[in-house]
Amino acid sequence: MINLIVIAISAIMFALLVVWWRWPAFRDWIEAPKYSMLRQERRFDGRDR
């Protein structure tokens, strides 16, 4: 049980870090939503205010 948790979390973290480090395009792709969210917010604010 404990081994399962430790291995699973370590694997998730390691995989994400490797992808982050090896593929710069991944960084752009995974960071994109934080900008689209702001754009949407700006659009809605414009309509609602």
Contact footprint for other proteins (CB under 8 A) = 1-2, 4-6, 8-9, 12-13, 16, 20, 27-49
CB of 8 to other proteins, least distance (A): 7
Measured from the CB atom, the residue of 5 and 22 that comes closer to other proteins is 5
| Minimal distance, residue 14 CB to other proteins, in Å | 11
Q: What is the dihedral of CA 26, 28, 24, 13, to 10 degrees?
A: -50
